[in-house]
Amino acid sequence: MRGQYVVTSWKRYPRAILGTAERELIAWFASNAQAGETWLDIGAHCGYTALALCNFVGREGRVFAFEPVLTTVGHLSGTKTANGADQLCVVPFGLGDPDELERHEIRPVRGMASARAYQTDEGALEYIFVARLDAIWKSVSGGDEKLSGIKLDVGMQTTSALRGMAGLLKQHRPKLVLEVPTAGDLEPMLQTLEDLGLDTAGDPVDGGSTSNLSVGKSYAFSWRGAV
């Protein structure tokens, strides 16, 4: 990441400015994201991990960064522009499993539509829009629907996001790395992964427990029967 630019602030994401954030996850990207592939960064925030993915897929690849908080989308777009990352497509939606586009009122925390953001009474009120990936991917992808990998970090929305992309997941069987949500959301997430055909014994990416999934840690999940 040295020599690249991230549009953020010391208050929102100091480790991105220092270049010390997500080192283990980026190392996982280096081993799993290949030139020319298409990856999704869902919960992209200011674009730090999306930019890392751009480095690995190269100019011939594509990265779609989903971020619903519009003030943060501005930072994400600035990150794209500052680095000339033409392979990066910024998508200003959150992902879930609604039957049609939904609007939610939130108060973002550090520019994120996190679980805490839905509960706090502090900060400015914003609207975000949530869609089902299965319903919008053909349009968002410009008709080139191939899908190589997904990074998913959306807190308590993890299970609904997975359900809303079930068709694409089963069709393309992309590599999947996600941050484990809070304990109360863990069981539904694991059941959804099981139903989709993924092994629920995740491979720790950033130091989480190998015997039990650690909340707030990232894990890679493999498809059952994959060679």
Q: Mean per-residue pLDDT for 137-144? A: 96
Quote the CA–CA distance of 35 and 159 in Å, as a whole number.
Answer: 29
Q: Mean per-residue pLDDT for 178-186? A: 87
- Find out whether 67 and 89 touch, Cβ atoms under 8 Å: no
**Token representation of residue 188:** 């539904």
- Find out whether 70 and 111 touch, Cβ atoms under 8 Å: no
DSSP 206: S
- Find out whether 58 and 8 touch, Cβ atoms under 8 Å: no
The model's pTM: 0.93
Banded model confidence at residue 166, pLDDT cuts 50, 70, 90 = very high
Of 117, 152, 110, the residue nearest 16 (C-alpha): 110
Query: What domains, with CATH codes, occur in the chain?
Result: 14-221 (3.40.50.150)
In this model, does residue 208 exceed pLDDT 50? yes
Tell whether the torsion through CA atoms of 206, 204, 216 and 108 is positive or negative: positive
- Find out whether 9 and 33 touch, Cβ atoms under 8 Å: no
Residue 110 CA to chain centroid, in angstroms?
Answer: 16
Specify the higher pLDDT residue, 64 or 124: 64
